[in-house]
Structure 1
Amino acid sequence: MVNYARIADTGKPRVVIIGGGFAGIELAKSLRDADVQVILIDKQNYHTFQPLLYQVATAGVEADSIIHPFRKIFGKQNNFYFRLAEVQFIDTEKQVVETSIGLIRYDYVVMATGATSNYFGDEQMENNAIALKSIDDALTLRNTILHNFEKSLLTDEDEQMNSLMDYVIVGGGPTGVEVAGALSELRKHVLPKDYKELNFKEMDIHLVQSGPQLLKGMSDEASRKAQEYLESFGVKLWLNRRVKSYDGYTVTLDSGETLITRTLIWAAGVSGAPVNGIRKESMLRGNRLQVNVHNRVLGYDNIFAIGDIAAMVTDEYPHGHPMLAQPAMQQGRLLGKNLVNMLSGKPLKAFNYSDKGAMATVGRNHAVADLKMFNKEIKTQGFFAWVIWMFIHLISVIGFRNRLVVMVNWLWSYFTYDTGNRLIVGFTQKNVPVEETMTHKTLI
């Protein structure tokens, strides 16, 4: 076999990890001292701390403060190799991963490909909405938000101005709630200073949720408090509504009501991101791979899946574990131990999810947290929950420099009511260079 990837075959068992999210990172770390060859493949050369993507999108932190290069993370791990590539196919018969840079042989392959936005087959929505799953998405959203206000200065038509200044967020989970809260803070504290000519009473923030409450999966107290916070911030909630269509300008709800916006932020659903080559019988609803308690993919002996792509169906979790960072990290760590046990002939340990709880921030001094500590459930809201949210997210960011930069940004924003990253760099929503969309023919 031609060794396109320039990775010497040492004769040691080769573990190929596809995807460098939370699950893939933890798995690679857990194999640090194992007598194996670890190969991580990802189409980016960095890990992204996804819980803070919304802060990049709303100019709260710099993009490079929530990403960290794989080669730097694993610089001291001698059995680790990284290749920047896109996986195209897994040949399960030949035990080969086909990638954009060539073929990579494996003894064990682990899919940690995560999830992608689920538009439920609506191509129009996919083409016109902005998701928030990657750094590129976050920067696109930031550029679009800022560019909209620049364009708002160039029109006197009320409807056109409102379409540029109004935002519709679809999905009342943590991402939707956090984006809505961040936009409301921009509207109150930041944007009026930058765009003094605009009346920000005209800026409407709409949050559409298909169910009767926000933050499904968290406690009723957290849901009610989040709703109370957002309403006090002036966010318009549309509960028990679904978005029927969006053409890039008009949002039509299933109730027949319509909203006007140039920017619809999609936070309504995700699905697994499988790799071609896995038999359809191993796939469950939502494009997730069915795995057993050892994260082995149904129907295979040497193929595993961890994190959002994996659906470990149990009585407690009939649809698989929640698609969150904690289950992904715990599965990654345990699979590393189980692979070592497998190679040494020791019994494997079944995965048992330790639920740490959930939390969401709604804005300055406002957050909700349902924590599970010391065999107790702790439910808290407000300032204390906000401090907990900040602390946990800060220590979870990879890299000391990144933590320091994020902390400085947060402190600066807290004491000055300002953000320092209001830059339009690159492309806006329609992938049109900014300078081409800002032409204005009339005399100013």
Structure 2
Amino acid sequence: MSNNQILGSIDHDKCKVADEICLPDSEQPRIVIVGGGFAGLALVEGLKNKNVQIVLIDRNNFHQFQPLFYQVATSGLEPDSIVFPFRKQIKGYKNVSFRLAEVREIQASTNTVITDKGKLTYDYLVLATGTKTNFFGMEEVERNSLGMKDIRDSLNIRHMMLQNLEQAAITCDDVERDALTNFVIVGGGPAGVEMAGALAEFCKYILPKDYPEYPSSIMNIFLVEAMDKLLIAMSDKASSRTLTYLENLNVTVLLNESVSNYDGKVVQTKNGKRILAKNLIWTAGVKGDFPKGIDQKHVAKGNRLKTDAYLKVEGQENIYAIGDIAALISEETPIGHPQVAQAAIQQGNYLAQMLNNLNNNIPSKSFKYTDKGSLATVGKRKAVADLGKLKFTGYFAWLLWSVVHLMSISGFRNKLLVGFNWAISYFSYEKSNRVIIRNFKRDSTTETPSKNNTNNALEKDKNIQKTQH
């Protein structure tokens, strides 16, 4: 050994460190994929063991199954049941590397991405970064409410709910108890509807057993939707049946209503309603989330990246976008494809084939989306399904929803855990994960009104909705 060589050191001729992200040497074209959601993973699956070098970058080291976030939030599932490590996912993929980093900037002129851990170059860049919660510029609402776009959001909702229910059992102040036990969900899409249904079942079946100090009717659930129907993307039959299901579960549904402000204790709507609640869950909108470096003229409504028919970002030669971040604007899709898992997976599969063809000088057809239908559940044994011309509701729709979601979860162990939890819940409505692992504390610089001032204001305001069902 050379006297100048340090024990445990590596050969820097094979792996550059400095300010670059270290990657294996390869003569193959390098495809950098930013984001390991449904679209990103579908692309990885399609390119595995091909004649390309794949680098998957994500700010998390796991894939998360977003359709079941609401079940984690309402204590139905543990978070590790619906997340799956990327490194376990790509085990055995000889041409795929994962790097834990957050991309901050794209420098298209030099084919470089800048991350918080260093930089790396690419031959092709694919943005599959998804979306984040859109509060439509309402800063106070954003500070005082919780979105549901990340597994951590789901845990925050769970801890907020359980802590507030515990505090409600402690306080002797009736107004404070109302605020702690009222829940407002904003947004009548699948996420909002499923969250409202799960909360209503928690209220009906769990609250009486866990909190005998007060009746379950003290927990009021409000679902606020700006449009004139729920599940706006689904059929009228699905929408009306969903409304019936929720009303039968004692959920107060407010249609043609939108939130204008929320100070942490009182929800204000544009039509003048005021709802007393210390729990507000926001599912009303999303916007694209991508690093800087793309000219704003190539950004569509909803902060999505405009692409051509081959999913290439407008104005770019070797940058592509797939999944929720992509907006393929055409006569058939004037606002882009729906931001749902099946569209993301189809785009990931298509781009894998298209890049393989490009690498082998084979022409490709443009992307065509096939709508396989929509499903939404509203509690146990109640769901709605739109499958082309076939539209049905009830038990069989719920059974189909359960099978589709169970088969879509990554990993055999996760499928087993979720299936086992669902089987127990099917017969008992039991939710065994009602534990507060860490205290939830809202990160807000806005001070809420003092209790006495708030109580006086509420007693004077006849429009405040705090009555029990």
For normalisation by structure 1, the TM-score amounts to 0.95
- Larger Cα Rg: Structure 1 or Structure 2? 2
User: Which of 405, 411, 418 pairs up with 1:399?
Assistant: 411
State yes or no: 1:321 paired with 2:356: no
User: Which of 415, 425, 431 pairs up with 2:437?
Assistant: 425
SS of equivalent to 1:370 = strand
Distance apart, 1:349 and its partner CA: 2.0
Counterpart for residue 79 of structure 2: 63
SS of equivalent to 2:77 = coil
Counterpart for residue 8 of structure 1: 24
For residues 240 and 6 of structure 1, the distance between their equivalents in structure 2, rounded to whole angstroms, comes to 53
For residues 58 and 412 of structure 1, the distance between their equivalents in structure 2, rounded to whole angstroms, comes to 15
Counterpart for residue 267 of structure 2: 251
Identity of aligned pairs, percent? 46
For residues 3 and 337 of structure 1, the distance between their equivalents in structure 2, rounded to whole angstroms, comes to 33
Counterpart for residue 186 of structure 1: 202
SS of equivalent to 1:130 = coil
For residues 198 and 413 of structure 1, the distance between their equivalents in structure 2, rounded to whole angstroms, comes to 24
Gaps of 5+ in 1: 433-444
Letter in 1 for 2:122: Y
Kept in 2: contact 1:3–1:104 (CA 8 A): no
For residues 400 and 274 of structure 1, the distance between their equivalents in structure 2, rounded to whole angstroms, comes to 32
User: Which of 154, 165, 172 pairs up with 2:181?
Assistant: 165
For residues 261 and 70 of structure 1, the distance between their equivalents in structure 2, rounded to whole angstroms, comes to 38
For residues 275 and 431 of structure 1, the distance between their equivalents in structure 2, rounded to whole angstroms, comes to 24
Counterpart for residue 380 of structure 1: 392
Distance apart, 1:427 and its partner CA: 3.7
Q: Cα gap change, 1:245/1:431 in structure 2, threshold over 3 Å: closer, same or farther?
A: closer
User: Which of 235, 238, 250 pairs up with 1:234?
Assistant: 250
Alignment coverage as a number of residue pairs: 428
For residues 117 and 217 of structure 2, the distance between their equivalents in structure 1, rounded to whole angstroms, comes to 52
Distance apart, 1:110 and its partner CA: 0.2
Give 1:60-209 correspondences, 5 Å limit: 60-209=76-225
For residues 372 and 309 of structure 2, the distance between their equivalents in structure 1, rounded to whole angstroms, comes to 19
RMSD: 1.1
CA offset digits 1:47-90 (Å, max 9, x no partner): 00000000000011110000000000110101000000011101
SS of equivalent to 1:333 = helix
Distance apart, 1:4 and its partner CA: 2.8
User: Which of 43, 48, 52 pairs up with 1:27?
Assistant: 43
Letter in 2 for 1:389: W
CA offset digits 1:178-213 (Å, max 9, x no partner): 000000000011121111112211111000000110
SS of equivalent to 1:407 = helix
SS of equivalent to 1:110 = strand
Kept in 1: contact 2:143–2:443 (CA 8 A): no
State which drifts further: 11-20 or 277-286.
277-286
State which drifts further: 421-430 or 202-211.
421-430
For residues 126 and 253 of structure 1, the distance between their equivalents in structure 2, rounded to whole angstroms, comes to 15
Kept in 1: contact 2:180–2:279 (CA 8 A): yes
Give 1:401-416 correspondences, 5 Å limit: 401-416=413-428
For residues 302 and 146 of structure 1, the distance between their equivalents in structure 2, rounded to whole angstroms, comes to 48
For residues 201 and 144 of structure 1, the distance between their equivalents in structure 2, rounded to whole angstroms, comes to 19
For residues 280 and 360 of structure 1, the distance between their equivalents in structure 2, rounded to whole angstroms, comes to 35
For residues 76 and 107 of structure 2, the distance between their equivalents in structure 1, rounded to whole angstroms, comes to 43
Letter in 1 for 2:276: I
For residues 103 and 400 of structure 1, the distance between their equivalents in structure 2, rounded to whole angstroms, comes to 35
Counterpart for residue 331 of structure 1: 347
Distance apart, 1:426 and its partner CA: 2.2
For residues 272 and 167 of structure 1, the distance between their equivalents in structure 2, rounded to whole angstroms, comes to 27
Letter in 1 for 2:266: T
Distance apart, 1:33 and its partner CA: 2.9
Kept in 2: contact 1:313–1:320 (CA 8 A): yes
Distance apart, 1:5 and its partner CA: 1.9
For residues 280 and 207 of structure 1, the distance between their equivalents in structure 2, rounded to whole angstroms, comes to 34
For residues 356 and 199 of structure 1, the distance between their equivalents in structure 2, rounded to whole angstroms, comes to 43
Kept in 1: contact 2:38–2:344 (CA 8 A): yes
Kept in 2: contact 1:95–1:107 (CA 8 A): yes
CA offset digits 1:98-118 (Å, max 9, x no partner): 001101110000000001100
Counterpart for residue 435 of structure 1: none
Letter in 2 for 1:422: R
User: Which of 60, 76, 79 pairs up with 1:44?
Assistant: 60
Counterpart for residue 439 of structure 1: none
SS of equivalent to 1:153 = helix
For residues 246 and 168 of structure 2, the distance between their equivalents in structure 1, rounded to whole angstroms, comes to 25
Counterpart for residue 353 of structure 1: 369
Distance apart, 1:24 and its partner CA: 0.2
For residues 406 and 157 of structure 1, the distance between their equivalents in structure 2, rounded to whole angstroms, comes to 39
Counterpart for residue 363 of structure 1: 379
